[in-house]
Amino acid sequence: MVTPLLPYGRQDIDDDDVAAVVAQLRGDWLTQGPTVPAFEAALCEATGASYAVAVSSGTAALHLACLASGVRAGDTGVTSTITFVASANAIRYAGGAPSLCDVDPETGLVDVASLEAVVTRLAGEGRAPKVLIPVDLSGSVAPLARVQELADRVGAKVIEDAAHSLGASYDDAGTTRRAGDGAHADMAILSFHPVKHVTTCEGGAILTNDLAAAEELRDLRSHGITKDPSRLGPVDGPWSYEQQRLGFHYRITDVQCALGLSQLKKLPRFVARRRALAARYDAALSSSPLSAALSPLGVPAGVASSYHLYVVRVRPRDGEGLAEIAARRLALYSALRERGILPQVHYIPVHRQPDFANHGLSGGDFRGADAYYAGCLSLPMFPAMRDGDVDRVIEALTAFVASGR
């Protein structure tokens, strides 16, 4: 019998999802119909945001959020170096220059002291950042309230990169806030890639509580064109439209949103299952022999992670440097793959990417990020996993640790 491969993440599609897509395909609209706003309304209900603008990808969402935040040529923005490159690239797409800050190696989330140092330096140079983009990593929410305080100090907008945190929540002085609800951010972005909490195959969204920003985002996703009669000049007829700014073709389709609507109905179940799987991993990693060799990525106090990822870190041995830790992480990665378990690494720090170094965008002190990166490994985590799948991973981890490598 062939042992099935166990990836780090995958979509969970059932007959309801298939039926929803088939019904859309057999209907009158494939794109730009009523299902897009219906999906957007469901996103608002799921997150608590007032407005949602669905687009073609999470990267498109970041790009448009930067534009709607006023980022233009010569501006600066700041994000953390532990993220997918799109978080930093979006600032560049809008014409700005990204600066990077460090992270807390225990959580992978933005180190507020590092962020403050970068913001203070840029402001002192007369280049106060236009946007701050805190990244919610693995399902945990970044310290948004503290980021907002820094943003208010220099007049910056906050864009929460919530691509990992749909369904997560955090305590805010005794009030429970949801990722993406805008309590401490001007905008938040979501991703609906197949490994995320819900999928539209590819897709994303921007969440905001600002009506003017939502209207600008809707224009920007569709070539900068409006058909709103109240916003048009002299018209030729009922077919009239105007391109009032340069926009993009970042639209999402009704077919994708039909899948998204069906998936969103399952979000509470998906998140509950992810948390149950994480608890099973946590229990194993808190016991010997695994506890001496590996530790789960920390979840900040007051945060209820939605566990997009389940990240473990290789514990350093006495006197061991980052290169030695990284070598053991590679050995563990290889050992798991030999057993048909396919882990992943999230993420190679942005400051290590050649394109950023070549453009002078990699300067800074990133000791926390380098320490995090040396030992991090994402284990399989998706709702369709069985308890036995987690046990299989734990058995493989135990065998690796017992080998002494």
User: Residue 279: what pLDDT?
Assistant: 98
CA-nearest of 174, 178, 111 to 147 is 111
Q: Tell me yes or no: is domain 267-402 CATH 3.90.1150.10.
A: yes
Domain 6-264: give its CATH code.
Answer: 3.40.640.10
User: Residue 362: what pLDDT?
Assistant: 84
- For residue 339, the tally of other CB atoms under 10 A from its CB is 16
User: Residue 363: what pLDDT?
Assistant: 84
Identify the three-state secondary structure at position 85: coil
Phi, psi dihedrals of residue 376, rounded to the nearest 5°: -85, 145
Instruction: State the Cα–Cα distance between residues 221 and 217, nearest whole angstrom.
Output: 6
Instruction: State the Cα–Cα distance between residues 205 and 260, nearest whole angstrom.
Output: 11
* Distance of alpha carbon 136 from the chain centroid: 6
Helix and strand numbers (H, E) in the chain are: 14, 17
Spatial strand order of the sheet with 175-178 comes to 175-178, 169-172, 303-304
Please report, in tens digits, the pLDDT of each residue of the chain (405 residues total). 568 999 999 999 999 999 999 999 999 999 999 999 999 999 999 999 999 999 999 999 999 999 999 999 999 999 999 999 999 999 999 999 999 999 999 999 999 999 999 999 999 999 999 999 999 999 999 999 999 999 999 999 999 999 999 999 999 999 999 999 999 999 999 999 999 999 999 999 999 999 999 999 999 999 999 999 999 999 889 999 999 999 999 999 999 999 999 999 999 999 999 999 999 999 999 999 999 999 999 999 999 999 999 999 999 999 999 999 999 999 999 999 999 999 999 999 999 999 999 999 888 899 999 999 999 999 999 999 999 999 999 999 999 999 988
User: Residue 79: what pLDDT?
Assistant: 98
What six digits make up the tokens of 54? 């669905």
Query: Do the beta carbons of residue 11 and residue 194 sit within 8 Å?
Result: yes
Cα dist from 291 to 35, 281, 295, 337, 401, whole Å: 48, 11, 6, 21, 10
Query: Do the beta carbons of residue 316 and residue 325 sit within 8 Å?
Result: yes
Query: Do the beta carbons of residue 179 and residue 168 sit within 8 Å?
Result: yes
Query: Do the beta carbons of residue 299 and residue 143 sit within 8 Å?
Result: no
Greatest distance between any 2 Cα atoms in the chain: 77
Contacts of 387-390 spanning 24+ positions with Cβ under 8 A? 387/280, 389/6, 390/277, 390/280, 390/281, 390/284
What six digits make up the tokens of 190? 């979501």
User: Residue 260: what pLDDT?
Assistant: 98
Query: What percent of the residues of the chain are helix, what percent strand, and what percent coil, each to the nearest 5?
Result: 40, 20, 40
Calculate Rg over the CA atoms of the chain. 22
Place of tokens 């007959």: 15
Q: CATH 3.90.1150.10 region(s) of the chain?
A: 267-402
Which residues are paired to 7 by β-bridges? 342
Q: CATH 3.40.640.10 region(s) of the chain?
A: 6-264
Instruction: Look up residue 88 and give its amino acid.
Output: A
Instruction: State the Cα–Cα distance between residues 306 and 198, nearest whole angstrom.
Output: 12
Instruction: State the Cα–Cα distance between residues 111 and 202, nearest whole angstrom.
Output: 30
